């Protein structure tokens, strides 16, 4: 173990603790094989090739006194982390483009969002957020080669879009009484992202320019059984400000864009797997939980889309594949 007295910054000598449920299960793997995951109020980066810890830094305090004065008395658990997938403009951060893969957006339970540079081990930008609404998820969007936005789920039902040049919020969308669960970017169009709610509401956002007039919004409704969620909602407290993962930690909805077929989403609700077509606005395939498996908690696709993996609440993993000779939406469980 390192001697804290020999290190100018004792945080750099400390091993991170394990993630907790308050970190919402968030993690992100960069194209350079760097895995970022929150450990309480810190963010850790692991090199997956060597399995070595690269860095662990705490979520810094807000740089603006006004932000800190309005923060609620909650532990600043980091709840979402997203590597920048784009080579950000050099003028944005005054850093060399070669280090842009070390830039990470991190949001916490206090509603703050910071852009962290793990080369400098500091926050290089704070976004202007409503500190009363905790962060559920984050997603990067590239409108033009020189224009980047960060999309966030704030609290239970608000989508916010932030300009990464200024850090300002340029657009908000309130979908209450929906509870947004996750954001994902379209692999075929870096301008397009979708947000999925626990009740089946799906919001598509395409950003074509700098202002709200260039934001194209499309709403979808996916049919799913919400009876259990309705009961949980009646028993929940602090519904107005808490993110979905804080309100309903055992009730999750996730989706993934198909990496091979445009407009196709693979969606999991707690007891249902759905394949949805954005272009035709219809469900192409639906399946119930495999026998003997707990609720769905995550869905992951392989690159050629022949295989799909679903994680379950009881620790099981179900593997699905497309039936030979059938269409993309005809899936069958292969093993669990």
DSSP symbols for 84-99? --S---HHHHTS-GGG
Kindly list the structural domains of the chain, giving each domain's residue range(s) and its CATH number in brackets, ordered by start.
249-336 (2.40.10)
Q: What's 244's DSSP letter?
A: H
Confidence of residue 88 (pLDDT cuts 50, 70, 90): low
Least confident of 19-33, 62-76, 94-108: 62-76
Distance CA 81, CA 311 (A): 20
Least confident of 102-111, 115-124, 300-309: 300-309
Least confident of 172-181, 220-229, 315-324: 315-324
Radius of gyration of the chain (CA): 20
- For residue 9, the model assigns a pLDDT of 46
- For residue 89, the model assigns a pLDDT of 57
Give the mean pLDDT of the chain.
85
- pLDDT of 329 > 50? The answer is yes
- pLDDT of 75 > 60? The answer is no
- pLDDT of 328 > 70? The answer is no
- Cα–Cα–Cα angle for 140, 134, 310, nearest 5°? 60
- For residue 169, the model assigns a pLDDT of 95
Comparison of pLDDT for 12 and 316, the residue scoring more? 316
- pLDDT of 48 > 80? The answer is yes
Confidence of residue 99 (pLDDT cuts 50, 70, 90): low
Question: Quick one: three-class SS letters along 45-61?
Answer: EEECCCCEEEEEEECCC
The count of other CB atoms within 10 Å of the CB of residue 48 is 12
- For residue 86, the model assigns a pLDDT of 74
DSSP symbols for 195-238? EEETTSEEEEEEE-SSSGGGEEEEEEE-----HHHHHHHHH-S-
- For residue 6, the model assigns a pLDDT of 39
Spatial CA neighbour of 318 closest among 332, 299, 336, 294: 336
Confidence of residue 17 (pLDDT cuts 50, 70, 90): confident
- pLDDT of 163 > 90? The answer is yes
Summarised one tens digit per residue, pLDDT across range 104-117 is 999 999 999 999 98
pLDDT above 90: percentage of residues in the chain: 60
Phi, psi dihedral angles at 148 (to 5 degrees): -125, 145
Confidence of residue 325 (pLDDT cuts 50, 70, 90): low
- For residue 132, the model assigns a pLDDT of 81
- pLDDT of 304 > 90? The answer is no
């Amino acid at each position: 173990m390192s001697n804290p007295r020999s290190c100018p910054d004792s945080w750099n000598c400390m091993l991170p603790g394990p993630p907790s449920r308050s970190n919402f299960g968030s993690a992100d793997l960069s194209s350079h094989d760097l895995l970022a995951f929150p450990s309480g109020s810190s963010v850790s980066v692991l090199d997956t090739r060597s399995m070595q810890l690269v860095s662990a830094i705490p979520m810094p305090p807000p740089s603006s006194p006004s932000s800190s004065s309005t923060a609620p008395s909650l532990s600043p658990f980091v709840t979402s982390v997203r590597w920048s997938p784009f080579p950000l403009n050099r003028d944005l951060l005054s850093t060399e483009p070669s280090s842009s893969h070390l830039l990470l957006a991190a949001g916490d339970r206090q509603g703050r969002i910071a852009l962290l540079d793990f080369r400098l081990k500091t926050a290089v930008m704070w976004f202007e957020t409503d500190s009363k609404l905790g962060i559920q998820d984050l997603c990067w969007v590239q409108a033009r080669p020189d224009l980047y936005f960060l999309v966030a789920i704030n609290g239970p039902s608000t989508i916010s879009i932030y300009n990464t040049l200024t850090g300002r919020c340029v657009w908000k969308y309130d979908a209450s009484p929906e509870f947004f669960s996750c954001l994902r970017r379209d692999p075929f169009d870096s301008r397009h992202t979708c947000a999925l709610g626990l009740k089946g509401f799906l919001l598509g956002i395409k950003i074509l320019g700098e202002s709200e007039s260039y934001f194209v919004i499309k709403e979808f409704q996916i049919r799913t059984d919400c009876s259990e969620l309705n009961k949980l909602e009646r028993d929940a407290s602090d519904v107005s400000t808490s993110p979905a993962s804080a309100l309903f930690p055992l009730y999750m909805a996730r989706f993934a864009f198909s990496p091979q077929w445009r407009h196709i989403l693979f969606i999991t609700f707690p007891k249902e797997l759905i394949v949805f077509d954005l272009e035709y606005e219809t469900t192409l395939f639906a399946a119930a939980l495999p026998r003997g498996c707990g609720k769905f908690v995550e869905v992951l696709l392989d690159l050629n889309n022949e295989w799909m993996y679903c994680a379950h609440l009881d620790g099981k993993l179900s593997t699905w594949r497309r039936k030979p000779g059938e269409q993309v939406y005809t899936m069958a469980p292969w093993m669990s």
